Structure formats: structure tokens, C-alpha cells
Amino acid sequence: MTTDTQHQHLAALLARSALGDRGAFEEVYRATRSKLFAVSLRIVRERQLAEEVLQDSFVSIWNHASDYAQARSAPTTWMTAIVRNRSLDVLRRGAHETEDVDEMLALNLVDESASPARDLEESEDLHSIRHCLEELEAEQRQSIALAFFHGLSHSELALHMRKPLGTVKTHIRRGLMRLKDCLGKRGTTLDGRG
Amino acid sequence: MRQFPVTLQHALAAEYVLGTLRGRARQRFERLLRSDRGLAAIVRGWEDWLTPLAANLAPVEPPARVWQEIAARIAPRAAAAPASFWSSVGFWRGLGTALAVALVALVVLFPRTQPAAEAPSMVAVLTTPEQDPRMIVERHADKLMVRMVKPWTQMPGQDLELWAIPKDGKPRSLGVVRYDADTEVRLANLDLKLTDSVAFAVSREPTGGSKVEGPSGPVLCSGVIARTQRA
């Protein structure tokens, strides 16, 4: 399936879920669980926690399936945002001590932003963000990728990158604003006041 | 409400979506998001921009128990068929038999912290549709004690609400209970609320409780009431 027809298929399944169709919802789960589990696992770093996040997220997706129509994003984007927010909430509960982070990161982190394209069916959106990330300075790109994929906070990033906190905050802020300019130029404009 | 300049809105929205906006700032921002549509649109835009990156991750298969737990927690939509769910004979009958065993086990397993004189006059073990015991409700002279067997995961913007289910099936709210610790429910009209009650149930609701008459969210657990002495 192309990404567009996949989106349409998932959107239709979500619409049926909103009406109480559990079979349709199970299909949504089957189609997205492994990607979404990977997203959460990277951020919360423990399987047990990631399983809880996935459960809570899907219960929330079921409860809010009727809101999806208003979201106007791709279904996977909408669902990924729910899983990411839930994962970050779990981190917020203080499940992780900063001390562990440095060592663990040194062993486990990969710079996803630098990985080559794997998908032939890469979506237009993914193509845009990858292209724009490549235009950033290395440290801006690295800090944004670490924050996005691994849920690192400013201070965890500072520890990991061995940079002062202020420097890391600047990398992130400037990197994000350059991304905005680049993505804006590529025609994927924001709604609202952007 | 305070209005931020557009550049600042973008800076905050971007760090919110990226995940570097943390702690109180994140909570404040989430509150703001609920009331400011313009800001919500900017956040959605950043989600559209950044989240496709997640497609890069190698998939990881979650264990089968994750779906089982989800399936158990997505009870039939209360809005779609409230009456049939709450008054379904099969529902209560199935619950009754399974609970007899769980009830005895739990009452024995959970040592009473109060002296025997304060023994509850009603007890109910609330289980998930999969018969997993999650909470115990006890009626004492002046209050209900809602005891936690296994804490629930907190979901932002949501609360757990306790219901008394009378014979006629129309749930009466007993208020919001904690998701991770015991709750004491003290209500002036407790007797009235519990009149003819046959069961307790807990549903997930928006913050502050259901905005409609009766539960609006999924029922997480429920259990029939056992009367341990003449009330």
C-alpha cells in the first residue's frame, strides 16, 4: 500500500472504532503497535513501562477516536503524538534518575538523524523533515534527534553532549527555528497563526 | 488569558512537541493548549512536521498481553448502550460467580488495620472484565473506604469516578477516587446514594468526573456488593 492509501485505511478504521467497532480497533492496533512500541521504548527505556504506555495510549485512542476527524493530521501522526506525550508523562513521574542516563546513553544511543533512508515508500513529510535536519549544524541536529527519539531533557542532553546547559538550549532553540524556516519553505505550512 | 507573541508560541510549541518542555512548564502549556485553539493548531503543525521522523525507527513487537489488557479496558461504549450494559443480567451473573472466590481470597489476604468493631457492613471486590481484582470498596459507619489492590496508570486530563449501581441500574456517582492510593469517600447523603445498591463500578472520566448523568467513559472495574452484617 502507498502511504496515502494506508492513511485512508487507518482513518476509516478509526472512524469505525469511534462508533464502537472493536474489530476495527484491533486492526488499528495490529497495523501500528510495533512502530508505536518502538517509539515508547526509546523514550521510557524499560519494556514494562513501554507496555503500560502502549496500553494507556490505545485506551486513550479508543476513547478519543471520534476526535481524530478534527485532528486533520495523518492517523499515524495523531497516534504517535499520543504515544510520545504519554511516554514523556511517564518520564515526568521521575522514573529515571539522571545519574543513569549518561552511561546508558553512551552505550545505546544511535544518531537516527544520520541514518540513510530505509523506506522506498518514504512519505513526503518524512522526506521533508529529513532533508531539513540535514541542513542543520551537526550539534543542532544531534541534540534535536536525541531529544525526539530518546526523550532527553535539556539537562540530560547537556550531560550527554558534555556541553553547558545554556549551549544545549541554544542548539535546540536555533535548530528548531531553522527547521521551521526550512519546512515552511518546502510548502508544508502550519495552520493557524504560523 | 495571556497572549504570547507568535515567535514565542512557535518556540514553546516546538519544544513541547520535541519533548524538551518539561515539568511545570509542560503542564502549564498543556492547560493553555486546551483553551487556545490557535496555539493548538501550531502544536498540531509541529506534530505534523516532527513526528514522521518516528517512521525511521525499527519496529519492536510488543507482547500479546498488551492487547489483552487493552481489550479488557475498552469496555463497550457507555454512550452507545448504557442501559443494556449496566442492566445486563449476564454481566452481573458472570460477575457474581467469579467474585465469590476472589472475594473470600481477598478479604482473607488483606489484613484489617481497624479493630473488629469497625468491620465494614458492605464489601465489594472490583475486578476488570478479565476478572483481575483491582479495588476493594468497604462501607463503614460514616464513609466508604476505596482500597487499591493494583494502582491504575494516571492519564492526563482524566479522573476515576466511583459509582453505586442500584437494582434499577441507573448508576449514582460517589465522586472521584484516586488512581494510585486508597480513598475515603465521605458524603452527607451516603445512605441515600447506597439505597438498594447491588454493585460498585469505577469508570474513567474527564477531570472532575463525568459531565453527563451517569458514566461517560469506559468502565474499568466493577463488583457486586456483599453485605457482611445487617446494615
User: Highest mean pLDDT range out of A14-23, B60-69, B116-125?
Assistant: B60-69
Same domain, A90 and A129: no
Q: Which of A20, A77, A133 is facing B51, going by the closest CB pair?
A: A77
Clarify whether residues A186 and A157 are in a common domain. Answer: yes
pLDDT at B77 over 90: no
- Cite the DSSP H helix spans in B36-181: 37-50, 64-73, 82-87, 89-109
What pLDDT is attached to residue B228? Answer: 76
Q: In CATH, what class is B71-227?
A: mainly beta
Three-state SS at B165: strand
Model confidence band, residue B87 (pLDDT cutoffs 50, 70, 90): very low
A60 and A26 in a single domain? The answer is: yes
Q: Provide the mean pLDDT of chain B.
A: 80
Radius of gyration of chain B (CA): 22
Higher-pLDDT residue of A95 and B4 is B4
Question: Identity (one letter) of the amino acid at B34?
Answer: R
Confidence band for B208, pLDDT divided at 50, 70 and 90? confident
Please tell me whether residues A69 and A132 are part of one structural domain.
no
Q: Is A72 on the interface with B (CB under 8 A)?
A: yes
Whether residues A167 and A180 fall in one domain: yes
What is the rounded CA–CA span in Å between residue B141 and residue B119? 9
**Contact between chains at B54 and A119 (C-beta distance less than 8 A):** no
Amino acid B152: pLDDT: 86
Do residue A107 and residue A162 come from a single domain? Answer: yes
Q: A119 in contact with B at a CB cutoff of 8 Å?
A: yes
For the domain that residue A32 is a member of, what is the CATH number? Answer: 1.10.1740.10
Indicate if A108 and A177 belong to the same structural domain: yes
**In this complex, is the C-beta atom of A81 within 8 Å of any C-beta atom belonging to chain B?**
yes
In this structure, the answer to whether residues A86 and A157 fall within a common structural domain is: no
The string of DSSP letters for A124-165 reads HHHHHHHHHHHTS-HHHHHHHHHHHHH---HHHHHHHHT--H
Interface of A with B in 26-65 (CB under 8 A): 26, 29, 33-35, 37-39, 41-43, 50-52, 54-56, 58-60, 62-63
> In this complex, how many residue pairs, one in chain A and one in chain B, have their CB atoms less than 8 Å apart?
193
Query: Which of the listed residues A61, A96, A131 is the one where a domain comes to its end?
Result: A96
Whether residue A115 sits in one domain with residue A90 = no
CB contact under 8 A, A125 and B48: yes
Does residue B48 or residue B1 have the better pLDDT? B48
Write out the residue range of the structural domain in which residue A145 sits: 97-194
Q: Does pLDDT of B207 surpass 80? A: yes
- How many distinct structural domains can be found in chain A? 2
Q: Does A97 contact chain B (CB < 8 Å)?
A: no
Lowest mean pLDDT among A50-64, B57-71, B155-169: B155-169
Q: What's the mean pLDDT in B129-145?
A: 86
In chain A, residues with a C-beta closer than 8 Å to the C-beta of B50 are: 129, 148
Burial class (CB in 10 A: 0-12, 13-18, 19+), B159: buried
Claim to verify: residue A75 and residue A162 sit in the same structural domain: no
- Range 181-220 of B in CB contact (< 8 A) with A: 204, 217-218
**B51 against A117, higher pLDDT:** B51
The three-class DSSP label of residue B148 is: strand
Q: Is the dihedral of CA B82, B83, B85, B87 positive or negative?
A: positive
Q: Where in chain B is the domain with CATH 2.60.40?
A: 71-227
For residues A144 and A116, membership in a common domain is answered with yes
Q: Decide if A59 and B70 are in contact by the 8 Å CB cutoff.
A: yes
Is the pLDDT higher at A5 or at B46?
Answer: B46
Name the maximum alpha-carbon separation found in chain A.
Answer: 52
Residue B89 above 60 pLDDT? no
Q: Is B51 on the interface with A (CB under 8 A)?
A: yes
Asked if residue B3 has pLDDT above 90, the reply is: no
10 Å CB burial of residue A121 (0-12, 13-18, 19+) is exposed
A154 and A91: one domain? Answer: no
Given CB atoms, is A153 within the 8 Å cutoff of chain B? yes
Q: Is this prediction's ipTM beyond 0.90? A: no
Query: Is B157 in CB contact (< 8 Å) with chain A?
Result: no
* Rounded-to-integer distance, Cα A129 and Cα A185, Å: 12
Our CA-based measurement puts residue A125 at a distance from the nearest CA of chain B, in whole angstroms, of 6
What is the CATH classification number for the domain harbouring A130?
1.10.10.10
Question: What pLDDT score does B39 carry?
Answer: 92
Write down the residue that cell numbers 550531560 correspond to: A159
Per the DSSP assignment, residues forming a β-bridge with B161 are B176, B203
The residue from A57, A80, A96 where one domain ends is A96
pLDDT, position A107: 42
* Residuewise pLDDT in 10s, chain A (194 residues): 567 788 889 998 998 888 888 999 999 999 999 999 999 999 998 899 999 999 999 999 998 888 887 667 889 999 999 999 999 988 866 544 444 444 444 444 445 544 444 444 567 888 889 899 999 999 999 999 999 999 999 999 999 899 999 999 999 999 999 999 999 887 655 543 33
Q: Which of A56, A76, A96 is the last residue of a domain?
A: A96
This prediction has a pTM of 0.60
